[in-house]
Amino acid sequence: MRLALCCCLTCLTLLPACTTTISTTPGGDQVISRMIDGQGQTGISGQVRLKADTSPMAGAYVNIYPNTISNLLGPSQFLSAPTDAAGRYLMELPPGNYYVVARKRLSGLANGPITTGDYYSDHQRILAQVASGKLTQVDLEMLQMRAPMFFKKNLSDTKTDTGIRGVLLDEQGNPLPGGFAIAYVDNNLQRLPDYASTLSNQKGEFTLYLPKGGSYFLAARIKAWDMPHKGEPYGKYGGESALELKIKDNSFVEGIKIRLAPFTGTYKEMNNQRPL
């Protein structure tokens, strides 16, 4: 991880206004290419605010990732200094395309897992286009985490000889990297999952290790906490009804495809407890 140079934020008030240019990809990336003259600087600047009341959030850190293979979790390529009292930040970066995420931990730490009570940026897949001599303007809205993260190493990294291999696809049928499949031992998918796959690679491929054979129900998403929000890419194996998938001990089911589309259901706060 590299610490991006954060320059004097008062200069932001002297920069000319910019026009908003935002688009959304089929995979759910929100692409931002609104730029202003950097007056000798190249990078990203903006404001971090609390979504509930739009108040500025001081002490938040902005993380910059080159791709989504890590699901925008863990150490980032670049890390800002804490946002100032007005919630503003400015990071000098090389030209390129970057995913931008903001986090504020109640511990005050810049790095480490985020947990219940911490804050994270609402739209997790913001892709900023940075051009030489320009400052791309990226404002971030923060939500407070109400449910614990379920994507943890002990859910995905314990290799077994039983499981599922497949591919995540976006709404258009293209491979979706940086997402994961989740498995349930029953058809109640409105709770924390029982198992999660490895993150999908650039080809959308994932592996989901299971402790034993049995009947499972699968879904897929890109966020690692809470219930899906409207517009978040989300899908179930078998469609809306979710098909039961039977797996034998000491074997893998291959070729499973799960297509993700913008979630259109009603958001319900996640039940934090796993079943016994």
Q: What domains can be seen in the chain, in order of their start residue?
A: 2-144 (2.60.40.1120), 153-262 (2.60.40.1120)
Nearest to 168 by CA among 54, 69, 84: 69
Q: List Cα–Cα distances, 164 to 24, 246, 248, in angstroms.
A: 30, 10, 11
Query: What tokens appear for 41 in the block?
Result: 């600087």
Can you say whether residue 170 is alpha, beta or left, with left for phi > 0 and alpha for psi between -120 and 50 degrees? beta
Distances (CA, A) of 245 to 124, 169, 199, 237, 242: 30, 19, 20, 9, 9
Is the overall model pTM greater than 0.85, yes or no? Answer: no
Output Rg (C-alpha) for the chain, integer angstroms: 20
Give the three-class secondary structure for 216.
strand
pLDDT (tens place) for every residue of the chain, 276 residues total? 555 544 434 333 333 444 445 666 655 678 888 899 989 999 999 999 999 899 999 999 999 999 887 778 778 999 999 999 999 999 999 999 999 999 999 999 998 877 778 898 876 689 999 999 999 999 999 988 776 555 544 455 578 999 999 999 998 999 998 888 999 999 988 877 888 888 888 899 999 999 999 999 999 998 776 677 778 889 999 988 889 999 999 999 999 999 999 888 776 665 444 332
CA atoms within 13 A on the CB side of 27: 20
